[in-house]
Structure 1
Amino acid sequence: MDADRLDLDLTAQEPLPPAAVDAVLGLLASGKLHRYGETGAKPSEASQLEAEFAQSLGVPYCVALNSCGSAMFVALRASGVQPGDAVLSNCFTLAPVPGAIAHAGAHPVLVDVTEDYTIDLDDLERKIAASGARTLLLSHMRGHVCDMARLSRLCEAAGVRVVEDCAHTMGADWAGKPTGTWGLAGCFSLQSYKHANSGEGGLLVTADADLAARAILMSGSYMLYASHLARPDEAVFERWKYRTPNFSLRMSNLAAAAARPQFGAALADRCRRWNERYRWLSTALAGVPHLRLPVRPAEEGFVASSLQFSLVGLDPDACRAVIAACSARGVHIKWFGAAEPAGFTSAWQHWRFFPDQQRLPNAERVLAGLCDLRLPLTLTPADCNAIAEVVRDSIQRHSPR
């Protein structure tokens, strides 16, 4: 192996906690993998997960679904979004967000991005006025949280409902208030690489009883909704049970059993360790020419399972060469400026299942140099210094002389 190549796996996952393995094996032995039992059933793993997660956020209702993308779609539909509606959304996000809008039959009104990767609130105000849209699907993309107090004031004044995509912000907050609790609904991910790992899964939280009842029915409860622990009263379901479609998007007991032991103190510890690694790497990258790190406000209680930086003052060919040079030395960086989507990474120009969007000049510039690195919890301070050295050398070799 090349001595200059790092032997690091930036996709490495920690093993599941022993309690999660035991719960999964017990379920496999029992065969009770479906969350609903028709007679004499005890509270299911999925129902207990819903109740525990709702309690952790201080909200009354939680619905477990098969993915965060499903949770976003159900939240949009259950909040009243109809086919043909306009839905505001960040232009800087990942494909499941526009996918949820498409699934609801709506179309996006994309909002520009700031230098620090959050939604541009000035552009949001303009787009609300110009579009007449009354729903915002707000993506806390890669864990970057905007000024939620200002956003909430802006949307409340305009009568805009907010659904939060919290796929990257489980455990995060703005000024002490958890993400997912600022809007009408919050949607969280249990996909591998996120803050709790069940392979795949989504959690929808809300304080709105009608939205919760509709979401439970849409998730695929049939008439077994009474077995949910974090649910509204029967009277709310009576309003909706005859006119709400079943989309069969519910979470299995298997995913819930894997996830439940990963919350509480275990989640807090992982959040602490992720931020520790973010500080190690961001400190090592600070001051590298042609590299800009985002400014994170004091109010942003972020959880950094990844790190983003911008290549500035480099043309697309130089950016491409930097990414390739890093990859050749074992540091695999996702680049949002690539002409073609790759892996999990795409940009709004790639979502051609929607009509042409308006120009987003700031986003074109910001995303052209935007780079993204996962932060596995296996990283050591020495690893972070070595990654930074590879990035520094690669930029130096391909920057203007």
Structure 2
Amino acid sequence: GEVSEVAALEAEFAAAMGAKYALAVASGGYAIATALRALGVGPGDRVLTNAFTLAPVPGAIASVGAAPVFVEVTDRLVIDLDDLAAKAGQADVLLISHMRGHICDMDRLMQICDGAGIRVVEDCAHTMGAAWNGVKSGRHGAMAAYSTQTYKHLNSGEGGLLISDDAELMARAVLLSGSYMLYERHGAAPGPEAFEGLKLDVPNISGRMDNLRAAILRPQLAELEARAQAWNARYRALEAGLAGVPGLTLIERPAEEDYVMSSFQFLLPGWPAAAVRDVVARCAARGVELKWFGGDAPAGFTSRYDHWRYVDPAPLPRTDRVLRAILDLRLPLTFTLEDCALIARIIGDEVAAVQRRVSPG
């Protein structure tokens, strides 16, 4: 019969990521929760995850009845691998969020997790097409989830994708997503034998992607590599424009990290909260919208681990210090390189002006 847009997208996305299997679903958060369910995570379980992330990540953990165990983050905005090693005995699953496109040393992360018997789910909402040490983001763990929400590398307004090389895990995911007994119609699912022992035992928690969104995504997927180059050119233009601004720290990017940056982050380390808020307000007055992760309350998409009251986190002093310093800017492809250079000048001017007032002389 006719191949649906969703089935075609699944096959094309699996090929693009180098995975055996792919599943298209309703959202990135649903993809994460489906991965956790496929791995058997349930009520009373604990899941390790980095503390610098967005609300759908701990939300996915909570949706399966489990509890997040937050791991500290570093000045590179990635998971603190020493803290991960120290907490490795607290859970059997790590949900690693490659927050804002920053990838940790995945070789060491997998060494820690493999040694401790921890299975890894990658949240690649911000790293579609990126890589660490030549291995695509999403290809290290047992499963990987991606988002196609409005601000992501592929945009269908809302949507998600899930990949794996494990036939049983993906068969569970397909059934969970609401395939009924039509699992053979999926474009990149395991063969029917993988479903035989599962199809009557795995609940249907409907969350499949629709054909309209898949049709929107397929042409974009073909342009992903070109888009990545365009995003990175804008990122580097901002980076060059902000290099050397006193009081402002750029994020270190290791040679092993092949990033795809649709946003930009920098730090104002050690700055008083009032001074950071002043920078945000002054930039906004000149048309540059910055988000700050150090606020007392969530704002827009921006929140932090201690805002989520359904979690009872242990103190994370290193993460608190980093979050108080982070400022964040979206980099849509509608920005030209000249726009990025202008934005960098505005940010640099306002950071310098506030710093002179805070530290006169």
Q: If the TM-score is normalised by the length of the shorter chain, which range does it land in?
A: over 0.9
Q: Residue 53 of structure 1 corresponds to which residue in structure 2?
A: 13
Report the equivalent of 1:178. Answer: 136
Alpha-carbon displacement from aligned partner over 1:92-148 (angstroms, at most 9, x marks no partner): 00000000000111000000001110100000001113x2x0100000000000001
Query: Following TM superposition, by how much is the alpha carbon of 1:396 offset from its aligned partner in structure 2, in angstroms?
Result: 2.1
Whole-angstrom CA distance in 1 between matches of 2:197 and 2:281: 57
DSSP-derived class of the 2:299 partner: coil
2:183 aligned with 1:263, yes or no?
Answer: no
2:138 aligned with 1:157: no
User: Which residue pairs with 1:65 in the alignment?
Assistant: 25
Aligned residues: 357
Corresponding residue for residue 76 of structure 1: 36
CA distance in 2, matches of 1:263, 1:392: 35
Q: What is the distance in 2 between the residues matched to 1:58 and 1:390?
A: 41
Encode CA deviations 1:250-286: one digit per residue, 9 max, x unaligned: 000000000011113x111000000000010100001
Q: Of the candidates 372, 382, 385, which is equivalent to residue 338 of structure 2?
A: 382
Structure 1 unmatched ranges of 5 or more: 1-40
> Partners of 1:109 and 1:51 in 2: how far apart?
34
Partner Cα distance (2:183, 2:226) in 1: 34
| Equivalent position amino acid for 2:58 in 1 | P
Instruction: Quote the Cα distance in structure 1 between the aligned partners of 2:317 and 2:145.
Output: 29
The aligned counterpart of 1:10 is none
State the shift of 1:380 in Å.
Answer: 2.3
SS in 1 for 2:260: coil
**2:350 paired with 1:373:** no
Matches within 5 A, 1:233-272: 233-264=191-222, 266-272=223-229
CA distance in 1, matches of 2:214, 2:337: 33
Distance 1:263 1:360 in 2: 38
Q: Which residues in structure 2 correspond to 1:267-286 (within 5 Å)?
A: 267-286=224-243
Residues 319-346 of structure 1, C-alpha deviation per residue, up to 9 Å, x if partnerless? 1111111111110001000111111110
Amino acid at match of 2:340: C
Instruction: Give the equivalent residue in structure 1 for 2:187.
Output: 229
Aligned counterpart in structure 2 of residue 139 of structure 1, from 94, 97, 108: 97
Shift of 1:392: 1.7
What's 1:6 paired with?
Answer: none
Partner of 2:288, secondary structure, is coil
Displacement, 1:385? 2.2
Runs of 5+ unmatched residues, structure 2: none
Alignment partner, residue 114 of structure 1: 74
Which residue matches 1:88? 48
Residue 244 (structure 2) aligns with: 287
Is 1:391 the counterpart of 2:351 in the alignment?
no
Structure 2 Cα separation of the partners of residues 51 and 345 of structure 1:
34
2:161 alignment counterpart: 203
RMSD: 0.9
- C-alpha displacement of 1:300: 0.3
In 2, Cα distance between equivalents of 1:388 and 1:229 = 44
Over 4 Å off, 4+ runs: none
What TM-score do you get using the length of structure 2 for normalisation? 0.97
Question: What does 1:18-29 align with in structure 2 at a 5 Å threshold?
Answer: none
Is residue 233–residue 337 contact of structure 2 (8 Å, CA) maintained in 1? no
Is 1:190 the counterpart of 2:151? The answer is no
Which amino acid is the alignment partner of residue 145 of structure 2? Answer: C
Does 216-225 or 375-384 show the bigger shift? Answer: 375-384
Distance in 1 of aligned mates of 2:187 and 2:330 = 35
Q: What does 1:340-355 correspond to in 2, within 5 Å?
A: 340-354=297-311
SS at match of 2:141: coil
Identical aligned pairs, as a percentage?
Answer: 55
Alignment partners' CA distance in 1, 2:218 and 2:351 = 43
Cα displacement (A) at 1:289: 1.0
What is the CA distance between 1:313 and its match in structure 2?
Answer: 3.2
Report the equivalent of 2:88: 128
Offset from partner CA, 1:50-86 (integer Å, 9 cap, x none): 0111111221111110001000000000011121100
Question: Take 2:336 and 2:4, find their aligned partners in 1: how far apart are those partners?
Answer: 39
Aligned to 1:239, the other structure's residue is in SS state: coil
Tell me the SS of whatever aligns to 1:191: coil
- Please report how far the alpha carbon of residue 382 of structure 1 lies from its aligned counterpart in structure 2 after TM superposition: 2.4
